[in-house]
Structure formats: structure tokens, C-alpha cells
Structure 1
Amino acid sequence: MSTLPYTLDPDDPSAVPMGLIVLQTDETIEPEFRSLFIDDKSPLYVSRIPSGAEVNTDTLAQMETDLPAAADLLPKARPYRVVGYGCTSASSVIGSDRVEQMVMQTCNTATVTNPLRAASACARHLGVSKFALLSPYIEEVNTPLRRAFAEQGISMDVFGTFGESEEAKVVRISTDSVVDAAVRLGRDSTVDAVFLSCTNLRTLTAIPRIEAQIGKPVLSSNQSLAWHMKQLNVSQN
């Protein structure tokens, strides 16, 4: 065997990596992020966090304990400008500030966001605050979610749910079902936007269809998170 010489390429200082912590049960966020980040040259590194097959407040709260270990699995060669935690409902149960604290215990990142924090920032950017909420969750999960948005100045008095707690079913809810439900909610005259909650709910192709029918902005967990991560990545330059 011969030991051969080599050189090292320098890192591109304009392409600082971003991190993403994805639920073990999530089958949607990575495919949707491939489309949402297709023109972004910053590498996106992904770690997984244990999550229950059923979505309830107990399984969501458990992720607070597991966040440092999941963040610790992201590559460490370079610091991050932003790490995203891909769970809307858990962020409402744990709290955005606490999520950030737990991630920063083991990951060198300037900031941390999640779909709740991201959607709130997106709403402020668009100047909308009265949302119709469409979620797949059971009511014990919907209640803290709506409360958390209210604390950000976003009302969700109009809301509907598919009432499904099993993640394997949530990811397979049809796009037509999402569109039909969101249009029904979004046509309410008291709302000025729609939020499609859950990173595991397939929403990317549904958004333009809904907007075309109701003439109002439509945000989703994944779309909002991707937008906010890009904004934070640029602002940290």
C-alpha cells in the first residue's frame, strides 16, 4: 500500500451550511425541501430525532429531551448560521426559545428556527394576522398550537382538522383533501390568510391551487420554515 499526497480544497465562505432536524416519522419535509432549496448553494445537512408514531402532547414533549442528541449528529467541521427544527406542534408544546436552547447545547449555530417561529415571521413580512388553520392533529395538539400563535399576535379563530394522530396516515392525506379543506376554511371573510400545519402533511403542490381559489396568501409549515431559514442565512452574512 502506498500513502499518496493530497491537497485540501478551501470551504466556500459564501456557502455556509444550514442544519435541519427532522422527525424520525417524517416522510415529507426532505422531498419538499429539495424543491424549496434547489437554487440555494448553501449545503443543507439533516439529522433525525426520535418521534412517536402517534402525535400527542406526550410524544411531542419527549423531543425536548432528545433535541441535543439529534443536533449533536450534525457535521461539526463548520459553524452554522441557522438550524431548523422540523416540527410545528412540538415547537408549540416545548416553546421556540427552549427548542433553540436545546439545539445550541450541542450545535454551533448562530440561530435556530422552527415552523411556528418561521410562520410568525412570514406573517409579519406579509402583513397578515388573521389565519384560518388547517391541521391534521387531534384537539389536544391543536389547542397549544393555536395558543402559541396567539402569543405571536396571530389569531386562528377559524380552524379545521383532519383529526388524525397517526403519522403514517398524515403523510398520505391526499392533496385534493388538503385543497378542498383549505379552500373551505380560507373562504371565510374574517380571515386574510391560511396556514397548513404539519411538516409531514404534503402541501407544496396544494398551495398554488388554494391561493388561486381564495385569492389570499397560503403558508405551510415547510414553506415557512424554508423561507425563514433562507432569510436568517442571508441576514447572518
Structure 2
Amino acid sequence: IRWNLGFFTSRMLLSGGGLEGIEAMEGNAARAMEELASVPVDVIAYCCTVSGALRGVEGDRAFCQDMAQRWGMPVTSTMLAAAEAMQHLGMRQVVVTSPYPDSHHEAERVYLKQTGIEAISMQGMGFEQGWQFARVKPEAILEFSLDAWDDSADGLFISCMNFDAMPVVQRLENRIGKPVVTSHSATLWRALALADIREPIHGYGRLLAQPREV
């Protein structure tokens, strides 16, 4: 597939690894989005999973709507995209894996429940700092997720935008026989749909392998 497609990023400062630091990071959102809007781009994705979870479903939707109105373009968040992706694939009971400490999981559990999705198991690697999340190799994520897997679940959600799970999604799906959604795949899936790019992308699990609808 050859698309006339570009990706632009603007980083937001995360001071510390606790929930307070993640909440404080949102103070950089307007500046980061203004930089992206100046390109201009067609879609903006707020790429932090736990941030959206801490806002709650209604707060997350309101945040995206407010930012979309402010900058005149569609805005999605990772958590909103992930919930929509799991609903799209019929994932009602899920196993969640992440690099996080347990303290980061409760907000995600509540958010998912608000969207009709039950996290029957949530297993984190216990890392506290974002740079630690990024250093976990895809093979380690694969093995950790397989160890956490429960055959009674409808699918697997691998949480965190700083966690390199995309390279092993297809292998995980082949092993467990159920859909696998990651923060990366869900955000890409939703952003491409909002940009009206509908062609399937193969090799990264069934979510991206299907034509997308807005």
C-alpha cells in the first residue's frame, strides 16, 4: 500500500512516573496540539493510555470534543480508541497486560467497565518510569502476555503507548486464537479512520487487517 501519509509528533513533558505526573502532563496538551495544528494535520491523537483512563469515559470524550472544536480537526485519545476497537471486535471480557505498576490499572478497569468491557485479569510488569516501559523488548512483551493469558477471555489488550507490542501482535493472535489490541494499534486504527484512510494493513492483527469505518 502506498499512501500520501505523514506522521507528526509533539512531545509532552512527563515529570515522574506516578499518576500525579500523568495528570500534570495534560497541562502540555494545548501547546502540543497547537504545534500539530500549525502543520496543519488532518487528525490529532492524544497518545497516552492512562491519561484518558483518569479522565473517565465522559471526561475523555469531552476532552477530545473540546480540543477538536478548538483546533478545527478530529481529535481522539488512545483510551477512547482502544475501547472503540475492543467493542468493534466484540471483546467484552479481556485480559490486560502492561508495563505499569498496579496503581495504574484501576482507572483503566473502571473506564473499560463504563464501555461495557470487563477486565477479567490485569497484569503489569511493575515499572514506574516511562523510560523503563520503552526498554521492554517485543519478545518479552509476547512472553509476558502469553503467561497472563486466560482462555476464557474474548481477547487481549496490551496497554501503554510507550510499550513496543506492535511487532508481536500477529504472533500473539496466532497463539491465543483471539483478537489482540494494543494502545498503538487502536490509536492508529482510529486516527486512520478519522483521516478517511480505509485500506487494510496486514501483519499486525485483525483490527488493522479490516477495512476501517469512521
TM bucket normalised to smaller:
0.7 to 0.9
The equivalent of 2:90 in structure 1 is: 127
Q: Quick one: higher RCO (CA 8 Å, sep 6+), 1 or 2?
A: 1
Alignment map for 1:59-70 (pairs within 5 Å): 59-70=21-32
| Among 175, 179, 182, the residue aligned to 2:138 | 175
Matches within 5 A, 1:59-208: 59-76=21-38, 78=40, 80-94=41-55, 95-101=59-65, 103-104=67-68, 106-109=70-73, 111-186=74-149, 188-208=150-170
2: distance between equivalents of 1:70 and 1:190?
41
Root mean square deviation, CA, Å: 2.2
TM-score (norm 2): 0.83
Cα displacement (A) at 1:106: 5.0
Higher-helix-fraction structure: 2
Deviation at 1:76, TM superposition (A): 2.5
Per-residue CA deviation, residues 13-62 of structure 1 (Å, 9 max, x unaligned), is xxxxxxxxxxxxxxxxxxxxxxxxx743233322221112x332101111
- Specify the SS of the correspondent of 1:46: coil
Q: Secondary structure at the match of 2:8?
A: strand
Structure 2: 5+ residue stretches without partners? 198-212
Is the Cα–Cα contact under 8 Å of residues 78 and 183 in structure 2 kept in the other structure?
yes
Tell me the percent identity: 23
C-alpha distance in structure 2 between counterparts of 1:112 and 1:184, whole Å = 35
Q: 2: distance between equivalents of 1:70 and 1:222?
A: 19
Larger strand proportion of the pair: 1
1:63: Cα distance to partner? Answer: 2.2
Paired with 1:126 and 1:75, the residues of 2 have a C-alpha distance of 31
Query: What SS does the aligned partner of 1:209 have?
Result: helix
- Residues in 2 aligned to 1:66 and 1:101: alpha-carbon distance in whole angstroms: 17
Q: CA deviation at 1:212?
A: 1.6
Unaligned 5+ residue runs, structure 1?
1-37
Describe the shift of the 1:163–1:39 C-alpha distance in structure 2 as closer, same or farther (beyond 3 A). Answer: farther
Q: 1:42 maps to which residue?
A: 5
TM-score (normalizing by structure 1): 0.75
Instruction: Give the whole-Å Cα distance in 1 for the aligned partners of 2:66 and 2:126.
Output: 30
**1:108–1:56 distance in 2 versus 1, CA, 3 Å:** same
Please state if 1:224 is matched with 2:178: no
1:194, distance to aligned residue in structure 2 (A): 0.3
1:154-190 deviations in whole A, cap 9, x for unaligned? 111212110101111111112222111211222x132
- What is the SS of the residue equivalent to 2:11? strand
- Measure, in 1, the Cα distance between the counterparts of 2:2 and 2:125: 33
Structure showing greater Rg: 1
Counterpart in 2 of 1:209? 171
| Count of matched residue pairs | 196
